[in-house]
Amino acid sequence: MAKQIRVRYAPSPTGHLHIGNARTALFNYLYARNQNGKFIIRIEDTDVKRNIEGGEQSQLKYLTWLGIDWDESIDIGGEYGPYRQMERIEIYQKYTEELLAKGSAYKCYCTEEELEQEREAQMAKGETPAYSRKCCGLSAEDHKALEEEGRKASIRFKVPADQTIAFKDIVKGEVSFDSNGFGDFVIVKKDGIPTYNYAVVIDDHLMEMSHVLRGDDHITNTPKQLMIYDAFGWEPPIFGHMTLIVNESHKKLSKRDESIIQFIEQYEELGYLPEALFNFIALLGWSPGGEQEIFTKEEFIKIFDPSRLAKSPAVFDTNKLTWMNNQYIKQVDVDRLVQISLPHLIKAGRLPENLTDEQRAWARDLIALHQEKMSYGAEIVELTELFFKEDLEFDEEAKEILSGESVPEVVRNFKQQVEQLETFEAEDIKTAMKAVQKETGHKGKNLFMPIRVATTGQVHGPDLPQAIRLLGKDKILARLNKLIGN
């Protein structure tokens, strides 16, 4: 019987969900669902000083927002728990004793100052810094004496000499490292907390992970982990190291790079649709083949194959994300679009917090009018600016249209038609425009462009009769009067 696919996303609660971590979670999720396997979320919280309050909750909240669910974790439990590393300290201690007993690890009493002096001396000689194994052969008496001095020991893994550590990576193919390039590294710190490379091996083994799909920045951790697997006699999982995400200048995505929005919660705040972001992230370093770019989650699950993970860096194309979100917004229910857009109009002071039924209906129509053009919810503020202005400002293109010979006649005639309207619906406004056409003989651009510019100040925009209706009869007449000097 084939081994069940079990994969994990293991964040540290040191910050909010970053686009790169979201991609790691998403690819693991897709693989698990494609293979009818299990997707586990484990919290790697051993870097206690960097953990932030609410870090765990933020990770889970925004994974859920993206549309990712899981089978085991801190919130729903599971038979392989606990799922927080700090709740697994006793488990690690048991395995540490085993490594110490078989001579694969040893206690190190060196202070930070001593280690720094050692590193500086090695570098002065042109050597690559590596621990000298000063504490490797200590006798029982030495241990006792050092402990009586009040020294606390860390635990170091004894790296085997002259070994080639090789593995087949799903993305990179055959990868190998020389064990002589690694010094004896710390697996348990002086405070008794295990280091990442140690805890992750024990957790992945005990939780029966079949595959580890993670970022390329972990590739140098893999040989250390494989040495620990070998010391215990355990079979390691299959590794796949995804290429890094780079910006449009092909530089590694840095959290200081302000040209790209990098945290998932920021996208939610801006009014992006989670299914669009899911789609975009799924194509960051993975290709389904073919030209299709818009997929549902269910389609991704059906076609996901880790062998199609890209071998070259994934470029974060902001324009593509904007385009993709617009494709989703065009199809979304208007009430949902209102839900992600209306708060931005209120925040900008365009609308009151407590809307009347009439104001809410007007806002809904305003947002629906701009649905085709919108790329994300917050954009509604800029798109609808003309509806909240008292005075229009005309750019050069608009001024050129208004200087046309037929414009005064069209505008005056349209004003007269508007004044006569008893109701002010889009159909009424269309009727008024047809009447202007019949009265003046002007049609097409010569009719609609002067009316658009005179009423909205814009050369291009949404459906004109609907825009005029939403501006309201009083505002339209005020603008027309100002333009023709009445």
Active site residues: 255
Note whether 332 and 193 are within 8 A (CB): no
Q: How far apart are CA 44 and CA 30, in angstroms?
A: 22
Note whether 372 and 330 are within 8 A (CB): yes
CA-to-CA dists, residue 37 to 11, 33, 200, 449, angstroms: 20, 6, 20, 60
Question: Rounded to 10 degrees, what is the CA torsion of 271, 275, 277, 283?
Answer: -160
Q: How far apart are CA 186 and CA 109, in angstroms?
A: 11
Residues 6 or more apart whose Cβ sits within 8 Å of residue 258: none
What are the phi and psi torsion angles at 350 (to 5°)? -75, -30
What are the phi and psi torsion angles at 395 (to 5°)? -80, 180
Note whether 44 and 196 are within 8 A (CB): yes
CA-to-CA dists, residue 188 to 101, 195, 264, 386, angstroms: 15, 6, 33, 63
Note whether 10 and 41 are within 8 A (CB): yes
Given the structure tokens 């840095």, which residue do they identify? 254
Q: How far apart are CA 176 and CA 185, in angstroms?
A: 19
Q: How far apart are CA 34 and CA 236, in angstroms?
A: 22
Q: Residue 314 pairs with which residues in a beta bridge?
A: 245
Q: Which helix (H) or strand (E) holds 9?
A: strand 6-9
What are the phi and psi torsion angles at 411 (to 5°)? -65, -45
Q: Which helix (H) or strand (E) holds 48?
A: none
Residues recorded for the chain: 486
Which strands form 154-157's sheet, in the order they lie side by side? 105-108, 154-157, 186-188
Q: 482 is written with which tokens?
A: 């100002």
Note whether 104 and 158 are within 8 A (CB): yes
| Per-residue b or e along 460-474, where b marks 16 or more CB atoms closer than 10 Å to that residue's CB | ebbebbbbbbbbebe
Classify residue 8 by its DSSP letter: E
CA-to-CA dists, residue 314 to 48, 58, 281, angstroms: 32, 25, 10
Given the structure tokens 């006798």, which residue do they identify? 139
